[in-house]
Amino acid sequence: MRGHVRTVTGDEPIFMIRVSVHRPDLTLIDRAYTDEDGAYSVDVPAGETVTVRFDTHYSLTNADEWQPSLVTNVVSDDTVPLDRRLVAVGHFADTARGIDILAAFLVASAVEEPEYAAHAATRLTQLKQNRLFLQHIQQALLQHFTEQGNA
């Protein structure tokens, strides 16, 4: 599986985004980081149905710069690239992107280590949603990560 990660607003490549590929039970298959051109490549058995999360890593300098993104139930393939566009922290997320970001944080809440929590909380506090229901989900995720970070 391969592709590029770029900004949603300007089509610029994003360096050092962690691309994690999981089975339906969320066990990790493989992960990679994007290069200077925003390109990534992960080894995934062809034809396997996977979930792919595009996110920062808490130990990197970009840990608070980008909102995560999620693709679920995709069939892995080396012939068609899986590209993603990320929303910068502090920017408006339209309804579809807001759902995508919250879904990525939801998966992160199930698979990430406690060190992830502080950066997730920082990014969630700066997420601008336009739907009350999404704001409620955002608040629940923020509470979860805040409590995890304080534990």
Give residue-wise pLDDT tens across range 6-63: 999 888 999 999 999 999 999 999 999 999 999 999 999 989 999 999 999 888 888 8
90-147 pLDDT tens trace: 988 789 999 999 999 999 999 999 999 999 999 999 998 888 999 999 999 999 999 9
Q: What tokens appear for 90 in the block?
A: 């502090």
pLDDT at 115: 93
**Helical pair 116-125 and 132-150, crossing angle rounded to 10 deg:** 150
Instruction: Copy the structure tokens of residue 123.
Output: 């990014």
Distance CA 123, CA 102 (A): 11
Tokens 């360096």 appear where? 15
Q: State residue 35's pLDDT score.
A: 97
Higher-pLDDT residue of 14, 150: 14
CA separation for the pair 85, 102 (Å, rounded):
15
Asked if 68 contacts 84 with a C-beta cutoff of 8 angstroms, the reply is no
User: Which DSSP helix (H) or strand (E) runs through 49?
Assistant: strand 49-55
| Distance from C-alpha of 37 to C-alpha of 15, rounded to nearest angstrom | 7
User: What letter represents residue 99's amino acid?
Assistant: I
Going by the DSSP 8-state scheme, the letter that residue 66 receives in this structure is: B
Instruction: Give the predicted TM-score (pTM) of the model.
Output: 0.94
Report how far apart, in Å, the C-alpha atoms of 26 and of each of 11, 72, 85 are: 30, 11, 22
pLDDT at 71: 96
